[in-house]
Amino acid sequence: MKLYEITEQLENIKELLENPEFADNADIAKALDAVQQDFDKKAENVVYVIKNTEGDIEVIDAEIKRLQAMKKQRQNGIEQIKNYLKHNMGVTGTAKINCPLFTISYRESKQSAVQLDEDLFLANNCDETLVNVKITANKTEIKARLKAGEEIPGAKLVDSQILTIR
């Protein structure tokens, strides 16, 4: 029997007991006790379902964390393999490889990134155009000024490599 069905039975029996004609009826009181026990047992079983489901949630959370760690590990592995390929293409001077499914290209990107020692940079540069309101380095402005020949303590232009897989 379902909990809502037992609840309906309890309500019906309680209504009967409110009627003065059946208020002292021992059979109805006995039925009320039996239905109340059924209700209590069903409520206990519902709580078991809740506890079991909560346990499932804990297992699912642990599995999510495990899968996120596995995902991060795979992402790091991909990055290492890309760097490995990038390095070896640079060493051999291979600029492009055409394959049936994709094209691999390698090129040197001159002064495309700004490498910062942020502590040194921020300690020596209070120019609002070089830093964002959040007090972080404005790498776009720093890059532009470094390209224009301005010297900025704690910042320098660096060469980088780009690997494209299409």
Counting every residue, how long is the chain? Answer: 166
Position 89 confidence tier, pLDDT thresholds 50, 70, 90: very high
Distance between CA atoms of 153 and 130, rounded to whole angstroms? 12
DSSP code, position 149? T
Pairing label, strands 103-116, 96-98: antiparallel
Average of per-residue pLDDT across 73-96: 95
Both 64 and 115 in one domain: the answer is no
Q: How far apart are CA 35 and CA 27, in angstroms?
A: 12
Average pLDDT, the chain: 89
The reply to whether 61 and 107 lie within a common domain is no
In sequence order, the 6+-apart residues with CB closer than 8 A to the CB of 138 are: 129, 130, 131, 132
The residue segments making up the domain with residue 102 are 96-165
In a domain, 84, yes or no: no
Number of domains comprising the chain: 2
Is there a contact between 131 and 99 (Cβ–Cβ < 8 Å)? no
Q: Which of 110, 105, 96 is nearest to 160 (CA)?
A: 110
Beta bridge partners of 112: none
Looking at the structure, tell me whether residues 108 and 55 fall in a common domain.
Answer: no
Q: Rounded to two decimals, what is the model's pTM?
A: 0.51
DSSP structural state of residue 151: -
Question: Do 20 and 60 fall into the same domain?
Answer: yes
pLDDT tens across 4-63, in order?
999 999 999 998 888 888 878 888 889 999 999 999 999 999 999 999 999 999 999 999
What's the pLDDT at 165?
Answer: 62
